[in-house]
Every structure is written in C-alpha cells, then in structure tokens.
C-alpha cells in the first residue's frame, strides 16, 4: 500500500518536461507488465493464430469424428489459406475481443477504489489526461497482439495449406484494429458510468457480442462496424463506410467517457 502511494505520488508530480499524459501511459504500461496482462494478451492471439490453419486443415476429420454414427451428412470444404485466416478471425473476434474489452475496462479500475479515485480526481484538471493515454496504450497493445496472431496464421498456413495474400492479411488486420478499438472505447464508456469493474466487464461483453445483430436491421447490413470482422473477405471499398462509422462511434464513446467521468462526484464508499 505504501509503495503504491509512492508510485501514485511520483506519477502525479512529473519532473522536468514530462507530461501527465506520458506519465499515465507509463503507469498503464507498468500495470500491463506486472499483472501479466500483456503476456497473456500476446499469448492468446498467438494461440488463435496458430490454431486457425490447424482447424482449417483438420476440419473434415473433426466433423467426421462428430458424425461417427453416420446419421448426418456433413461436407467440409477443402481447406484454403483464406479459410485459415477466417478461422483465426472468428476466434480472435470472440474470446480475444472479450479480453481486449476487459483490459480497456480495467484501465479505469482506479475509479472503482475510493482512495485512488479521490487521488486522481483531485490532482488533475481534466480526466482526459488520465483516461485517454491509458486507453491509447491498451489499444496499441491489443492491435499489436492481433497482428502477431495474424502473422502466426500467415506463416503456419504457408507451410501447411498455402500462402495467404499479403493484402488479405493487411486488410483484415487494419479492419480488425478499428473494430477492436471501437469495442474498447465502448467498454471505457460503460466503466465511466458504472464505476463497477465486474459489472462493466459483464455489460460490455454482452454488448459487443450482440453488436453484430445490428446488421440484420433493414439497410444496415453493409454499414454497421461489425462488417469489419470480415475484412479478409471484403475489398477496401466495402470496408470504407463501416470504418468511418467505427471511427465515429469510437470518438463519441471517448468524449462521452471523459464527460461522464468528469461529472461524477468523489467516491468515498468502500
């Protein structure tokens, strides 16, 4: 507790020309490293990346084993490099997405504790200096981990199934990055309003998982941000509008999170 207080005091009064934004990023980097979140994040996406080609390659055998009695007729498509990439994307945009949102929510975990909440709120004129740099660092970590997973898929697929076109990997990674950051900003917005870590993670998880259902609305199928999940199978033109919508939603969530957090009173409850 004493050591944590010293860290906070050191962070609240940066020396020289070090800005508070950089200090906030430094504190967040320390949190990711010491908690093991960064290592777990990279390991998770790397696992998804390596499992993608394996699932695509052995899907016929897996489906065959599931139909031992022969009562069902199941046909598995011939594995292709793009199918390996799609397998990775499906895994990364489910479990990986939940992990990314949880990291964004816990970046504001200081506001869930009375002591640190009072400390940060009474020493900063704007909470944007505390919130945004932390989320930015988290977003960089998540996107980098996703890129590592995509690279693992491309390398393993080249040895087992076939070479994945570089533009497919690039397009999928950039589209996924926009979608991941948008979902993380939604998690931050919910956390700023609830100030309850467990509740914010649960609500954010449900929201981001049901978000693709918006594509079933009339006329919305080609414009909702969830289209970005299928970035590998779409061209750049088809991703343009969903990307713009994702950026707009991200900006609105960040502005909303800062405004909501700034209007909340000092937290003194346990």
Domain span at residue 168 reads 20-263
Tell whether 9 is covered by a domain.
no
Q: Give the count of domains, the chain.
A: 1
Q: What's the gap between Cα 111 and its chain centre?
A: 21
Tell whether 25 is covered by a domain.
yes
Tell whether 185 is covered by a domain.
yes
Report pLDDT digits (tens) over 47-81.
Answer: 999 988 888 777 666 655 555 565 555 555 677 88
C-beta of residue 262 within 8 angstroms of C-beta of residue 130: no
30-39, 164-173, 229-238: which range is least confident on average?
229-238
More confident site: 4 or 248: 248
Tell whether 134 is covered by a domain.
yes
pLDDT score, position 195: 79
pLDDT at 87 over 90: no
Cα–Cα distance, 70 to 107 (Å, whole number): 50
pTM: 0.84
Tell whether 207 is covered by a domain.
yes
Tell whether 116 is covered by a domain.
yes
Q: How far apart are the first and last CA of the chain?
A: 16
DSSP state of 113: S
Structure tokens at 163: 């070479």
pLDDT score, position 2: 41
Cα–Cα distance, 62 to 58 (Å, whole number): 6
Cα–Cα distance, 201 to 223 (Å, whole number): 26
Tell whether 6 is covered by a domain.
no
Largest CA distance in the chain: 74
Confidence of residue 18 (pLDDT cuts 50, 70, 90): very low
Which range scores top for mean pLDDT: 6-10, 202-206, 263-267? Answer: 202-206
Report pLDDT digits (tens) over 89-124.
Answer: 888 888 889 999 999 999 888 766 766 666 667 766
Cα–Cα distance, 239 to 175 (Å, whole number): 7
Confidence of residue 19 (pLDDT cuts 50, 70, 90): confident
Q: Which residue has the tokens 């994702």?
A: 246
Tell whether 188 is covered by a domain.
yes
- Count Cα atoms within 13 angstroms, Cβ side, for 196: 7
More confident site: 247 or 193: 247
Structure tokens at 105: 């929510």
Alpha helices in the chain (DSSP H): 2-12, 20-35, 37-66, 81-91, 97-106, 114-121, 128-160, 166-194, 197-210, 236-263
More confident site: 6 or 149: 149
Confidence of residue 144 (pLDDT cuts 50, 70, 90): very high
């Amino acid at each position: 507790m004493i050591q944590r207080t010293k860290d906070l005091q050191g962070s609240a009064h940066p020396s020289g020309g070090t800005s508070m934004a950089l200090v906030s990023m430094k504190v967040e980097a320390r949190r990711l490293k010491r908690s093991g979140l960064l290592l777990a994040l990279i390991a998770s996406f790397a696992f998804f990346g390596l499992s993608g080609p394996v699932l695509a390659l052995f899907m016929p055998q897996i489906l065959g084993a599931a139909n031992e009695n022969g009562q069902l007729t199941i046909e598995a498509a011939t594995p292709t490099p793009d199918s390996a990439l799609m397998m990775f994307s499906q895994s990364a945009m489910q479990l990986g997405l939940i992990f990314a949102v949880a990291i964004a929510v816990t970046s504001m975990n200081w506001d869930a504790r009375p002591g640190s909440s009072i400390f940060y709120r009474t020493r900063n004129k704007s909470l944007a200096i505390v919130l945004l740099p932390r989320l930015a660092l988290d977003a960089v970590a998540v996107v980098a981990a996703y890129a590592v997973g995509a690279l693992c898929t491309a390398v393993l697929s080249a040895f087992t199934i076939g070479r994945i076109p570089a533009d497919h990997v690039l397009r999928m990674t950039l589209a996924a990055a926009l979608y991941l950051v948008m979902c993380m900003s939604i998690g931050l917005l919910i956390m700023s309003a609830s100030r309850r870590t467990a509740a914010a993670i649960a609500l954010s998880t449900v929201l981001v998982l049901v978000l693709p259902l918006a594509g079933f609305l009339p006329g919305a199928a080609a414009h909702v941000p969830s289209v970005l999940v299928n970035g590998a199978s779409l061209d750049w033109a088809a991703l343009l509008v969903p990307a713009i919508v994702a950026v707009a939603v991200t900006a609105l969530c960040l502005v909303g999170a800062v405004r909501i957090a700034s209007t909340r009173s000092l937290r003194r409850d346990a």
